[in-house]
């Protein structure tokens, strides 16, 4: 089951600059900076109530986020829904004919297991599913 919007991700060229911009804008602090090898990105999270803003900087030229910035410039990159059973959600979507980028979960930041849904199946929005390490 989908529980909530976990985060909205923004593709950025420079995580430090973007953190300053967003911290000033929101009056909140970024925390939880981490390298995510599965996606070749450096991320930082700004907690906003029950959700977060995720700032995503490419960590390699062949990162999907580097390609995104090349094509479309910095900006909103994906929307992440938190789920309680990622395998069940992936099976449900697959059965419904939804195109998945990750058919199996991969390692995300902070011990989350994540999977991406292809924008071709969502009207152009890259969607991430994520399951937290501990049940809430």
Q: How many CB atoms lie within 10 A of CB 3?
A: 14
Minimum CB distance to Co ion, residue 95 (Å)? 24
Question: Cα–Cα distance between 54 and 128 in angstroms, integer?
Answer: 12
Q: Which stretch binds Co ion (CB under 5 A): 46-54, 57-65, 90-98, 115-123?
A: 46-54
d(CA 14, CA 90): 32
Q: Please, what is the minimum distance in Å from the beta carbon of residue 123 to Co ion?
A: 19
Return d(Cα 136, Cα 133) in angstroms, integer: 9
Q: Which two tokens stand for residue 116?
A: 């991406």
Shortest distance in whole angstroms from residue 130 CB to Co ion: 7
| Binding-site member from 80, 83, 86, 115 for Co ion (CB under 5 A) | 80
Q: Is 128 an interacting residue with respect to Co ion (CB under 5 A)?
A: yes
The binding site for Co ion (CB under 5 A) comprises: 9, 54, 80, 128
């Amino acid at each position: 089951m989908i529980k909530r919007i976990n985060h909205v991700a923004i593709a950025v060229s420079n995580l430090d600059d973007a953190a300053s911009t967003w911290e000033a804008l929101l009056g909140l602090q970024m925390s939880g900076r981490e390298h995510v090898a599965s996606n070749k990105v450096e991320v930082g999270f700004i907690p906003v109530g029950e959700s977060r803003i995720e700032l995503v900087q490419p960590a390699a030229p062949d990162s999907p986020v580097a390609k995104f910035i090349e094509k479309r410039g910095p900006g909103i990159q994906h929307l992440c829904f938190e789920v309680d059973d990622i395998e069940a959600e992936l099976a449900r979507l697959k059965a419904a004919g939804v195109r998945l980028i990750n058919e199996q979960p991969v390692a995300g930041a902070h011990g989350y297991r994540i999977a991406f849904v292809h924008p071709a199946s969502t009207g152009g929005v890259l969607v991430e599913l994520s399951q937290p390490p501990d049940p809430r």
